[in-house]
Amino acid sequence: MVLKLAIAEDDPKCAADLRSFVERYCREHGLELQLQVFPDGMELAEAYRPVWDVLLLDIEMPHLDGMEAARRIRAADPAVLIIFITYMGKYAIRGYEVSALDFVLKPVNYAKLAMRLRHVEEIIRRREERFLLVSENGELFRVLTADIRYIEVANRHIHVHTADRVYVTNGTLSKLEQALEGQPFARCSHSHLANLRHVSSVRRDTVLVEGEAVPLSRSKQKSFLQALSDYMGGGYR
C-alpha cells in the first residue's frame, strides 16, 4: 500500500519530527510513502488537488492557519483524512466543522502519531478493498482497482495496466466498464479507459496517467473532462 501524506507545519523542528515519525511508521509497517512538507497552510491550500490520503495540519500558522486551510481543502476534497497538530485541545471541537479525523497535541511523540496513523491505514485499506478479477492464460488474478492505471484494447485483447505489470486478457472494454461502475474510471477514447485517480494532467488529445500518455479522442473529450471534474470534487479515493 502507498500512503500519500502531506504535512503543513511552520515550525521546522516539528515538521522534521513529523516527517521522521511518518517515515518510521511506514518502514515498520511495510508501507510505501509519498510525502511532501509545506511550510504554511496557504502553500498547501492554494494549488490543492485531491491526491493525498491524509493531511497533518498545524493549526497555528502564519498567512493561513490549519483550520482555514482545511475549510478550503474540504471544498475540493471531501474524502481526504485530516489530523490537526496543536498545542491546545480546545481546537478539537472546531475540528468537527471540517470533518477532521483526529488531533494530536504537541509536543508530538512517535507513539501518539503512530496510533493515529494506524487508524488512517485501516480506513485507507477499507477504501481500497475493491478488486477486479482478471483471467490471463487460464490463471485468475485479483487486481486492486486502485492499482489499475488504465485499460486499453490492443491486438484484439484487453490490456490492464498497473504500476507493476500489464495483464492481457480476453473480453470487451464495455464489460470491464460495467464491472467498474461506481468507481473513478472514464473512457478517454473508444479503446481506452483511464483511472481518474492516476490522471496527472490533460492535454488537447492526450491524458497523462502517472506520466504515461494515453490517447484522448475528440468524441470522448467532453464526457471525460466532466468525469474528471466530478471526481476532483466528488471524494473518490
| Same-domain check for residues 124 and 143 | no
| pLDDT tens string 154-201 | 999 999 999 889 999 999 999 999 989 888 999 999 999 999 989 988
Chosen domain end from 106, 128, 150: 128
Query: Tens digits of per-residue pLDDT, 83-135?
Result: 999 887 665 556 667 888 899 999 999 999 999 999 999 988 877 657 888 98
Residues 135 and 89 grouped into a single domain: no
Residue 109 and residue 28 in one domain: yes
Judge whether 131 and 144 are in contact, CB under 8 Å.
Answer: yes
Same domain, 87 and 119: yes
Q: Which residue has the cell 471534474?
A: 229
Whether residue 201 sits in one domain with residue 109: no
CATH (domain of 204): 2.40.50.1020
State whether 10 and 45 are in the same domain. yes
Q: Report how far residue 58's alpha carbon sits from residue 14's, in angstroms, rounded to the nearest whole number.
A: 9
Quote the number of domains for the chain: 2
The boundaries of the domain holding residue 198 are 131-234
Task: Look at residue 8 and tell me whether its pLDDT is greater than 70.
Answer: yes
126: Cα within 13 Å, side-chain hemisphere: 6
Q: What is the mean pLDDT of residues 24-41?
A: 95
Task: Tell me the one-letter amino acid at 118.
Answer: R
Assess whether 16 and 106 both reside in one domain.
yes
pLDDT for res 235: 44
Residues 119 and 165 in one domain: no
- The whole-chain average pLDDT of the chain stands at 89
Q: How much is the pLDDT for 89? A: 64
In the predicted structure, residue 237 carries a pLDDT above the cut 60: no
- Which of 79, 98, 128 is the C-terminal boundary of a domain? 128
Question: How far apart (Å, rounded) are the C-alpha atoms in residues 77 and 189?
Answer: 27
Residue entry with cell 491486438:
155
